[in-house]
């Protein structure tokens, strides 16, 4: 039989996506803990998520400093001793401060968990933020910050967030260079005391887990000696800001400009979100998206462009972002707007929709392929306090959405004149 | 231990199969034995530009991405000095789509002037985004030609300059394909819940009919031994001074390679490493410092990079780096430190085996180096490095006459 190379071999639509539901337990002190037992390697990851992002800080930088400096010294170990031990066991502790949370992640070989969890426990409960370490940290960070500010993509991000949320809102506020000189160690210690305690966190344990690992976790982080019995006071901020619909930050001598377009939009907690996510994927959520096709593959304006839905705890936003040739920034923005208009006005073909659906289902398979992928997929769901059946609903929405619904959703959420535009670099 | 089976088709295509029943996806990796080192010095950036063209449709299939996405797949590729590597992950039951797509683009591409023009623009924007429009982004464009005078490692994979990409012609591109893209110059590696039997049948069906090509024998000039210290100073619009030092080291095929890799770990892997503890934390000379090896197949580079703290003089910064390097050559290293970096290597190796895609890529790469089975001896090779070897190798590398230094100054 002659091989027909023109014809795609028969393929199956993805029918079953096995979404493991994390097992939920409470440690002895009440910390909600999610357990994901999967994978083939003798490896463990522990994520601890504190409600301690920059949302909760009263002065600039404090939330980040606390999160990143936990490893810089405790009552019993110096910064160097902590680093030595972790490196010796081939373990990693990654701080990850965000707007809403202070996350700490430990990656460790299972056989060294007894040693490494002890360090994790110590840095969370007993950090001392030594004065000299703080000084070094700040002067180093101040320089790195200045370097980051040279990048058009960062200039655009800062301006865009400020326009979205306003300069006084924790999601919109820009860090300034002088902030690095005004940090007070007392505020750092106080922030840790106020927010890094057992009533203010969740834990996700993933990898090859058995009872002895859970027992160890309970023995350390499940202990009752780090409770302060107060909930973090939930601050509220209103977004009352009137944004400039278009803002431009000039930077000399650039070959590319960074562009961002977007708006405040629903987050994962909203029932329309799953469908909006399909619309966003068509627009700019995968390599074959309309924005990639037009702005990269037809016009050659950029190396890449994407459209992202960001779900924060207290808000969500859409951002379309790219770095484009400095002399075509205007054209690129016009093309983005045209693509959005098309989504609102013209029905997507069944062929394109089928492709996007299959791609998204395949992507979900990838998001659950392996213990750390599973935990990464659940972390945001758990953070937002959503039910673990979130992904079942996502699959349902992907499978059932119709071309008509796409037009409806696009018209409801993506009116072009509601988009804020930010350009950094050149714009003419 | 990563178990695998290997067979070769009549046309020379090597196929490696790793059975991993823990995943519902399959990783499909095609490595072509061609990289930036195979480029003409007047037509650099070609291997990478070509990688882009591989996604622009092949003889029988107008779009590469669409059918793959329709089958729930995802793909990407990268180009290095030595190889061009294409990879796919997709649901296991749709694996035949990967065979169909990869075999068609191995047999021929649907070239056109228009597609070439567009991808030239895309690559030029990539050049801008990654190298020219970033603070300190042009470093590798400066440091490589300082360290290499003859060997093609003297240019980065993106190319020497934008004009080389602008001037690429359709004939150049076709020529490149004919010389390098062929079954006998490629390794296919598959990891997932598959059997060797089914892969053999599919490989025979889709890749079997593709003809063997004549692949020109590689004729890469060897870099002559460097015998003088080289320096270059540039001024740029960046906030702080930086220093970049490159030393010639061994090729990947020599024992020294592993020794050198561990030396770079002692100096700069992790927060407990020497450069970070001594020069960032204690002496506060740098805001950032790093030592690493380039990892190339031919003789590569050991590179130290550092961004200076604002008040620090370049000569003090450089002196401090040299002192740290000398510490190792003068036997000031203890067994605990060596044990620590070996442990860390082993741990990172274990984490790497979590993903089927990583395993497929690593198997193909080790096969290129001579035998996929090397992958299972990596840990013991690192474990077997002795303190004496570390001192000997460090002494042979960290010599002033073997160094190229780039002083990257802030135009204030």
Q: What is the pLDDT of residues B206-250, one digit of tens each?
A: 999 999 999 988 999 999 999 999 999 999 999 999 999 999 999
The pLDDT tens digits for A343-360 are 999 999 999 999 999 999
What's the mean pLDDT in A308-326? Answer: 97
Mean pLDDT of chain A: 95
Q: Which of the two residues, A237 and A364, has the higher pLDDT score? A: A364
- Over residues B345-375, the pLDDT tens digits come to 999 999 988 899 999 999 999 999 999 999 9
**A240 pLDDT exceeds 90?**
no
The whole-number pLDDT of residue A39 equals 87
Average pLDDT over residues A6-20: 92
Q: Are A283 and A113 in contact (CB under 8 A)?
A: no
The whole-number pLDDT of residue B216 equals 84
Mean pLDDT of A168-186: 96
Q: Which of A167-181, A226-240, A276-290 has the lowest mean pLDDT?
A: A226-240
pLDDT at A242: 81
- Please identify which residue in the block is written with the tokens 């059997």: B195
Residue A238 binned pLDDT confidence (cut-offs 50, 70, 90): confident
pLDDT number for residue A210 = 95
3 state DSSP class of A288: coil
Which residues of B are less than 8 Å from A301 in CB distance? Answer: 121, 125
- Chain segment B31-67, per-residue pLDDT in tens: 999 999 999 999 999 999 999 999 999 999 999 999 9
**pLDDT at residue B332 in the model:** 87
Burial of residue A18 (number of CB atoms within 10 Å: 0-12, 13-18, 19+) = exposed
pLDDT in tens, B140-165: 999 999 999 999 999 999 999 999 99
pLDDT higher than 90, residue B100: yes
Q: What percent of chain A has pLDDT over 70?
A: 98
User: Which of the four pLDDT bands, split at 50, 70 and 90, describes residue A232?
Assistant: low
Which residues is B75 bridged to in the sheet? B88
Q: What's the mean pLDDT in A277-302?
A: 96
The DSSP code sequence of B137-149 is: TTHHHHHHHHH-S
CA distance A208 to chain B (A): 11
Rg of chain B on CA atoms, in Å: 23
- What CA–CA distance (Å, rounded) separates B394 from A50? 45
The pTM of this model reads: 0.95
* pLDDT-derived band at A237, boundaries 50, 70, 90: confident
Of the partner residues B22, B59, B71, the one whose CB lies closest to the CB of residue A358: B71
Examine the pLDDT at A141 and tell me if it is beyond 80. Answer: yes
ipTM value for the complex: 0.94
> How big is the CA angle at A152 (ends A147 and A156), to the nearest 5 degrees?
115
- Give me the half-sphere count of Cα atoms (radius 13 Å) on the Cβ side of residue A42: 8
* Cβ contact A287–B307 (<8 Å): no
The SS3 assignment for B173 reads helix
Quick check: B331 pLDDT over 90? no
Closest by CA position to A243, among listed A411, A421, A413: A421
Q: Which CATH class is domain A23-226?
A: alpha beta
Domain range B5-206, CATH architecture: 2-Layer Sandwich (3.30)
Query: Which tokens hold the place of A321?
Result: 């972002």
Length of chain A: 428
Domain boundaries, chain A: 23-226, 246-425
> HSE (CB half, 13 Å, CA atoms) of A231?
3
| Token output for B192 | 């997932």
3-state secondary structure (DSSP) of residue A349: coil
Q: What are phi and psi of A279, to 5 degrees?
A: -60, -45
Strand arrangement, sheet containing B301-308: B230-236, B403-410, B242-248, B301-308, B286-293
- Tokens coding B41: 């010095």
SS3 label, residue A5? coil
Closest residue of chain A to B308, computed from CA coordinates: A143
Q: Which pLDDT score is estimated for A236? A: 75
Residue A115 pLDDT > 80: yes
DSSP labels for B368-385? Answer: HTT-GGGGGGHHHHHHT-
* Residue A225 banded pLDDT, cuts 50, 70, 90: very high
How close B73 gets to chain A, by Cα (Å)?
6
First to last CA, chain B: 55
> What's the confidence (pLDDT) of residue A258?
98
What was the pLDDT predicted at A428? 75
What number of H helices and E strands is found in chain B? 15, 11
The residue-averaged pLDDT of B326-342 equals 94
- In contact, A338 and A345? CB cutoff 8 Å: no
**Segment 73-92 of chain A within 8 Å of chain B by CB:** 79-80, 83-84, 86-91
User: Which residues are CB-contacts of B46 (< 8 A; sequence separation ≥ 6)?
Assistant: B36, B39, B40, B159, B164, B168, B172, B173, B176
Q: Which residues pair with B109 in a beta bridge?
A: B58
Chain A nearest-CA distance from B142, in A, is 19
Average confidence (pLDDT) over A370-393: 93
Domains B5-206 and B230-410 share a fold: yes
pLDDT band at A2 (very low <50, low <70, confident <90, very high): confident
Degrees to nearest 5, angle at CA B331 with B326 and B337: 100
% of chain B with per-residue pLDDT over 70: 100
State how far the alpha carbon of B325 is from the alpha carbons of A51, A372, A418, B302, B407, in Å.
Answer: 44, 38, 58, 11, 18
Nearest CA in chain A to B68: A359
Q: Which residues of A touch B122 (CB under 8 A)?
A: 296-297, 300, 302-303
What contacts A193, CB < 8 A, 6 or more positions away?
A228
**A interface mutation test: which of B60, B91, B131, B204 has the most A CBs within 10 A?**
B91
User: Who's near B66: CB < 8 A, 6+ residues apart?
Assistant: A288, A355
The alpha-helical segments, DSSP class H, found in A196-322 are: 211-220, 273-284, 290-291
* CA proximity to B178, closest of B11, B368, B34: B34
Averaged pLDDT for residues A99-125: 98
pLDDT for residue A234? 66
Assign domain B230-410 one CATH number from 3.30.830.10, 3.30.420.40, 3.30.930.10, 3.30.70.100: 3.30.830.10
Asked if A41 lies within 8 A of B25 by C-beta distance, the reply is no
Domain spans of chain B, in order of start: 5-206, 230-410
Six token digits for residue A166: 């306003």
Pairing state of beta strands A201-207 and A32-37? parallel
Considering the four listed CATH numbers 3.30.420.40, 3.90.440.10, 3.80.30.20, 3.30.830.10, the one that applies to the domain covering A246-425 is 3.30.830.10
Confidence of residue A243 (pLDDT cuts 50, 70, 90): confident
pLDDT at A230: 64
List CB contacts of B131: < 8 A, sequence separation 6 or more.
B137, B138, B140, B141, B156, B158
Backbone angles phi and psi of A302, in degrees to 5: -150, 165
Confidence of residue A1 (pLDDT cuts 50, 70, 90): low
């Amino acid at each position: 039989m002659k091989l027909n190379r023109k014809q795609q071999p028969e393929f199956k639509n993805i029918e079953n996506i096995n979404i493991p539901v994390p097992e939920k337990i409470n440690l002895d002190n009440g910390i909600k803990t999610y357990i994901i037992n999967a994978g083939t390697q003798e490896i463990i990851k522990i994520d601890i998520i504190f409600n301690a992002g920059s949302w909760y800080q009263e002065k600039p930088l404090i939330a980040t400093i606390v999160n990143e400096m936990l490893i810089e010294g405790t009552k019993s170990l110096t910064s160097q001793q902590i680093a030595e031990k972790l490196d010796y066991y081939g373990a990693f502790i990654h701080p990850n401060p965000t707007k809403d949370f202070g996350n700490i992640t430990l990656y460790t070989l299972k056989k060294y968990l007894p040693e490494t969890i002890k360090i994790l426990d110590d840095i969370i409960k007993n950090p001392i933020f030594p004065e000299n370490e703080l000084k070094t940290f700040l002067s180093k960070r101040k320089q790195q910050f200045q370097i980051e500010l040279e990048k058009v993509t960062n200039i655009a991000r800062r301006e865009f967030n400020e326009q979205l949320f306003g300069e006084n809102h924790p999601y919109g506020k820009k860090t300034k260079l002088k902030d690095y000189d005004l940090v007070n160690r007392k505020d750092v210690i106080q922030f840790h005391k106020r927010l890094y305690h057992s009533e203010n966190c969740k834990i996700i344990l993933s990898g090859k887990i058995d009872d002895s690992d859970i027992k160890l976790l309970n023995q350390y982080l499940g202990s009752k000696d780090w409770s302060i019995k107060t909930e973090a006071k939930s601050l509220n901020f209103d977004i009352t800001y009137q944004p400039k619909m278009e803002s431009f930050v000039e930077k000399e001598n650039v070959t590319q400009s960074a562009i961002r377009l977007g708006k405040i939009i629903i987050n994962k907690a909203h029932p329309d979100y799953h469908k909006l996510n399909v619309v966003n994927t068509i627009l700019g959520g995968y390599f074959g998206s309309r924005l990639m096709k037009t702005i990269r593959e037809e016009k050659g304006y950029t190396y890449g462009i994407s459209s992202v839905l960001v779900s924060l705890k207290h808000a969500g936003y859409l951002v379309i972002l790219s770095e484009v040739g400095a002399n075509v920034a205007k054209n690129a923005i016009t093309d983005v707007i045209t693509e959005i208009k098309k989504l609102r006005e013209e029905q997507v073909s069944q062929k394109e929709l089928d492709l996007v659906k299959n791609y998204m289902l395949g992507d979900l398979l990838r998001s659950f392929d392996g213990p750390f992928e599973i935990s990464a997929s659940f972390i945001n769901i758990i953070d937002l306090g959503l039910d673990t059946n979130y992904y079942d609903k996502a699959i349902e929405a992907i499978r059932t959405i119709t071309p008509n619904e796409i037009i409806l959703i696009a018209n409801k959420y993506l009116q072009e004149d509601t988009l804020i535009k930010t350009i950094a670099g050149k714009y003419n | 231990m990563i178990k695998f089976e290997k067979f070769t088709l009549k046309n020379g295509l090597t196929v490696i199969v790793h059975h991993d029943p823990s995943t519902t996806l399959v990783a499909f990796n095609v490595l072509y034995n061609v990289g930036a080192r195979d480029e003409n010095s007047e037509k650099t950036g070609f291997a990478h530009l070509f990688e882009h063209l591989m996604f622009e449709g092949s003889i029988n299939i107008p779009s590469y991405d669409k059918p793959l996405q329709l089958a729930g797949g995802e793909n990407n590729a990268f180009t290095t000095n030595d190889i061009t590597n294409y990879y796919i992950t997709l649901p296991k039951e749709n694996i035949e789509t990967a065979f169909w797509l990869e075999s068609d683009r191995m047999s021929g591409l649907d070239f056109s002037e228009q597609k070439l023009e567009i991808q030239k623009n895309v690559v030029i924007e990539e050049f801008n985004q990654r190298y020219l429009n970033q603070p300190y982004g042009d470093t590798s464009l400066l440091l490589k030609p300082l360290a290499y005078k003859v060997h093609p490692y003297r240019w980065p994979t993106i190319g020497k300059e934008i004009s080389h990409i602008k001037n690429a012609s359709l004939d150049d591109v076709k020529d490149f394909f004919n010389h390098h893209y062929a079954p006998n110059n490629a390794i296919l590696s598959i990891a997932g819940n598959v059997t060797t039997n089914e892969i053999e049948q599919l490989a025979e069906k889709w890749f079997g009919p593709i003809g063997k090509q004549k692949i020109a024998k590689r004729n890469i000039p060897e870099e002559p031994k460097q015998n003088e210290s080289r320096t270059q100073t540039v001024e740029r619009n960046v906030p702080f001074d930086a220093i970049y030092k490159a030393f010639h080291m061994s090729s990947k095929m020599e024992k020294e390679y592993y020794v050198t890799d561990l030396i770079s770990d002692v100096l700069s892997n992790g927060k407990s490493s020497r450069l970070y503890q001594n020069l960032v934390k204690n002496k506060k000379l740098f805001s950032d410092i790093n030592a690493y090896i380039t990892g190339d197949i031919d003789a590569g580079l050991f590179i130290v990079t550092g961004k200076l703290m604002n008040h620090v003089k370049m000569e003090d910064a450089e002196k401090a780096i040299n002192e740290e390097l000398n510490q190792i050559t003068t036997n000031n290293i203890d067994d605990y430190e060596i044990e620590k970096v070996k442990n860390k290597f082993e741990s990172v190796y274990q984490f790497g085996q979590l993903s089927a895609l990583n395993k497929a890529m690593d198997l193909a790469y080790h096969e290129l180096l001579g035998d996929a089975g090397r992958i299972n001896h990596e840990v013991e090779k690192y474990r077997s490095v002795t303190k004496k070897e570390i001192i000997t190798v460090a002494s042979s590398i960290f010599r002033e006459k073997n160094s190229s230094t780039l002083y990257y100054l802030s135009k204030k």
